Amino acid sequence: MGQRLAHRYRIDKLMGQGGFGKVFLAHDEQLPGHPLCVIKQLSPIHTDTTNTADTAKRLFNLEAETLYHLGEHPQIPRLLAHIEEDGELYLVQEYIPGLALADELATGPMTVDGAIRCLQDLLTVLAFVHSQHVIHRDIKPGNILRRQGTGELVLIDFGAVKAL
């Protein structure tokens, strides 16, 4: 921790990791107030073959292109940077303060009205994503955040996207 990426982003803590990388919370030290951001680092667990590394890099680049293409939709994190440094690939994204829907559901069931509002909100962002000829392919409560303040649902983790 404390490492700087691109002489700009100070990595503060590990938020999670999976089969294709790690996710860090960081600060953008070149913007006023040093706002929070999320950094995804590509680091596949199984790098024993060139094919695996090439596939991971292709999926990572696809995620960057997709996030950039989806633009400024308020229910999708903005792509702030796509960086290759010291042979590693990184995506820097907008930090969304809020709670994962998985954590929310762990506290108890939703009311019927709450579930309807949740689905309507989620379908709004999915309609936009599909209108851009993209399929998310990993929609689950852990990849949906409820934005702090507005309560709006935000779809995250486009690592498994597929162009239609």
Q: Which residues are catalytic?
A: 138
DSSP state at residue 139: -
Q: Using DSSP bridges, classify how beta strands 79-85 and 36-42 pair: parallel, antiparallel or unpaired.
A: unpaired
Per-residue b or e along 101-138, where b marks 16 or more CB atoms closer than 10 Å to that residue's CB: beebeeeeeeeeeeeeebeebbeebbebbeeeebebee
From residue 91, alpha-carbon distances to 6, 51, 65 in Å are 12, 21, 10
Give me the amino acid identity at 161: V
Helix (H) or strand (E) holding 123: helix 112-131
Report d(CA 36, CA 38) in Å as an integer: 7
